[in-house]
Structure 1
Amino acid sequence: MATIKDVAKLANVSTATVSRVLNKNGYVNKETETRVKEAIKQLNYLPNDVARSLFKGKSKIIALFVPDITNPFFPELARAVEDYSNYRNYNFVLCNTDNDSEKEIVYLNALQQKSVDGFIIVSSSITEDDLKRIKVPVVALDRIISSNVSSVTVNNREGAGKAVQYLKSIGCERIAHIAGPENISSARERFQGYLDEVENETWYTPKYVAQGKYNFDKAKEAAIDLLTNHPEIDGLFVGNDLMGAGVLNAAASLGISIPEDLAVIGFDGISLSKIITPSLTTMAQPVYEIGRRAAEMLIFQITSEHPEIMSEEFDVQLMERQSTDVREGSYDR
């Protein structure tokens, strides 16, 4: 493998000159620059990124932590982070943590040893002590992990409330909820938005709430149990679209017609919600926009001399599809 000394020898220049060409730092006349670049190409020389990052103090690498890569929501977020990172000439590392705090710590330690420039973290298990050990900028995405960390989220509680209001508007009179994990802030906020709209209704009972753990299979099991024990339920607000798909599967297995017997609305707006049958009405997050904004915010903090804590909250939007009583003239809006 060629070294910087080999390049310098072939180009008949010093290693310092080769370094200036590689780093675009300092003056090198055009003839010498061309000679160095030709030597690099001829030798197929690849710079040692680790050495360069130690010298410059920057690796041009950012990492995204997600809790479950099998949930289609997170690959869609990751695509946005990757696109913006590449646009800004940063490399991108995706880490699947399984919401496991030990796994998160292993990734954090390993990447900091490699001089990663910053982290975008979707987590419900990282602690304040863990955050104190991170010596580079951090942005929380999808959920808030600390008041001391910048974040990009959506209006989960308000959006959930609007989902239930919509079910009421199409005639649902017994509305249940399949919730995400209690330790996840977005799930708690969506559950609270549901409660805001139903807890004063005479028909409401806590038995109308089941745990789906943001998981297809768990949501399917929860829906079968709910709909078997409470056949009067005619509307279901589901905490995310992946669980919504599980609910539709459960309804099919029970012979329940969607939307004639049961109206279902999810939350997230992932591509899956459009392609399943029936297609899923949902409160759609601007998934690409929030991923891109998190990357933009992180790179600003990396490059700023005086970074500050920033928090941004995006709105969600109702997308009417086949899983609710879509009236004539309804459309994705």
Structure 2
Amino acid sequence: MIDLRSDTVTKPSKGMMEAMFHAEVGDDVYKEDPTVNELERRVAELFGMDDALFFPTGSMANQAAIKMHTQPGEQLICDKYAHVYNYEGGGVSFNSGVSCKLLDGSRGMVTAAQVEAAINPPDFYHSPLTSLVCLENTTNKGGGACYDFQTFQEIKAVCIKHGLGLHLDGARLWNALVATGQNPKEYGGVFDTISVCFSKGMGTPLGTVLTGKKEIMKKAMRVRKVLGGGMRQIGFMAAAANYALDHNFDRLAEDNARAQELGNLLASLDYVVKVEPVETNIVIFEVKDEKAVMDYCVSKNLIISNMGQGKLRLVTHLDYTQDNHLTVLQYFKEFKSL
């Protein structure tokens, strides 16, 4: 079986398991887990931030950031494809009492002009007070698209002008950094908070780190506790993330390259209507007969995602080997003749 539904399906490697087994741990609620403390230090330093905090999940880290930035009754701005709106169980409203103003961006990416136009007048008390902008890089529903860094800077200028917080959902930011060659430290100069996930392309069983400026991050421990995220000897999982930083970061280029090859092949096949531009490790493509393609994939023990309305998705990852890749390319070529 070859599973390309998501990069979350990976299993810890032998080296990662050994790092977890030998981790030095302590009680993280007391901030006495040395492995967690080291991971948080490394991530904060990597992004040029003041502080960082380890969370069990990306959704919890994003929800914590939103709660840290906002008050009930306020509003955040995000793209209509944003993960915080579509895939976090309505947590924005449930956890923070905040509404979302959705923008019609391009492949999940918005512009500074769109953001500025969406800000509610602060003295017009009939509308929610706009207090936060949430961006996503890479964009999940946008097919792994990467922002141009200048756009981040332009949006930051709007946020400064209007006194808004700026949060980045960086669930797959690692893939974007490898694809673009951007300097992670520059992100710390733009965003107030950033969440980075280790359980996707980086191959860990769980774990996301929220990093940010000192003034906002001083709220993080309390908010994590409110959301149920106090943990004890979590250093076993932090060790997996430290291992991933050492061994799995640079190799994301392989995942991105294989996704590009898949996209190029699919674009040449007559049963494929359209392939979204491939920038990182996600391939979204539209087919003429989704049932026929999905049934064929099942017959080949190839698992992919059906997004509906003819759209299918592939996500390359750590456990998708070159042998797997050659096999999958052949499968799609053979379907052309059926």
TM-score normalized with structure 2 length: 0.34
Name the larger-Rg structure. 1
Where relative contact order (Cα < 8 A, 6+ residues apart) is larger, the structure is 2
TM-score normalized with structure 1 length: 0.34
